[in-house]
Amino acid sequence: MSALEDLIDDSVKLISMTHVPTNGGLVNPAAEVGRIAGDAGIPFLLDACQSVGQMPVDVDEIGCDMLSGTGRKFLRGPRGTGFLYVRRSILDRLDPPFLDLRSAEWVGPDRYEMRPDARRFENWESYIAGRIGLGVAADYALEWGLEAIYERIRLLADRFRAELSQLPGVIVRDLGREQCGIVSFTVEGTDHGRIVQQLSERKINCSVSPRSGTLLDMQGRGIDDLIRAPVHYYNTEDEIDRFITTLTEVRNS
């Protein structure tokens, strides 16, 4: 945070941050960044694609001006859906990339007026079924409660990390003071693609995050790729134990 504060001067026009990265459990301290951005009067854009649905996300507590989210990840909504939040006070400083008959009104031969609300970022034509599905997914998550969801996720992820770190040659790669449900690790001397494939054959789904997905981070940490095995609230303790046993078998095969 102090490094960020030191960087701030008149040339800074935007602070843009990923709340939770795609390749690990790190939860960035968004509200602390929001306070710094707010004090300096700099717009703050937060990519919350990996955090929405797994933890409480409150734009006022965080202090972000714009926030983007997706339906298909921890929210468990339909693929191809997502959403953008824009704080009203910043709306007039942003130009939507495209304007059409939903985002603006044609009011004279050479004049249009943009909508006064965040719908200026929407298109007339859209994926209605997907939007309904996204709404249902959001309601479903809210019914369980994001606090309860996050508590359960963290319980499982902490147990998973603790068990993984007992395995010889396995290094848990999650960073940060606060860690969420994305569990990432490397297995020394193995081809991670082969491990993931063999886990899949045993009905355990996880994936490989390649260096190219988050090049600066992976390069900085000297990692070529890693295994990404997130948990959600519906996972069980038994499934984690089975993952650990199966990983050990697969690794030794």
Ligand X SMILES: Cc1ncc(COP(=O)(O)O)c(C=O)c1O
- Beta carbon nearer to ligand X, 84 or 162: 84
Query: Interface with ligand X by CB under 6 A: which range of 33-41, 44-52, 174-182, 197-205?
Result: 44-52
CB 48 within 8 A of CB 67: yes
Which residue minimizes CB distance to ligand X?
22
Q: Mask of contacts with ligand X, 67-106, x by CB under 6 A?
A: ---x-x---------x------------------------
How many CB atoms lie under 10 A from the CB of residue 47?
21
For residue 92, with 0-12 CB atoms within 10 Å meaning exposed, 13-18 middle and 19 or more buried, which class applies? exposed
State how far the alpha carbon of 119 is from the alpha carbons of 126, 154, 230, in Å.
Answer: 12, 35, 33
| Interaction of residue 47 with ligand X, rule CB under 6 A | yes
| Interaction of residue 65 with ligand X, rule CB under 6 A | no
For residue 190, with 0-12 CB atoms within 10 Å meaning exposed, 13-18 middle and 19 or more buried, which class applies? middle
How many positions of this chain bind ligand X (CB under 6 A)? 9
Binding ligand X (rule: CB under 6 A), the pick from 15, 24, 27, 50 is 50
- Beta carbon nearer to ligand X, 62 or 247: 62
DSSP 146: H
CA gap 48, 76 in Å, rounded: 14
What is the contact surface with ligand X in residues (CB under 6 A)? 18, 21-22, 47, 49-50, 70, 72, 82
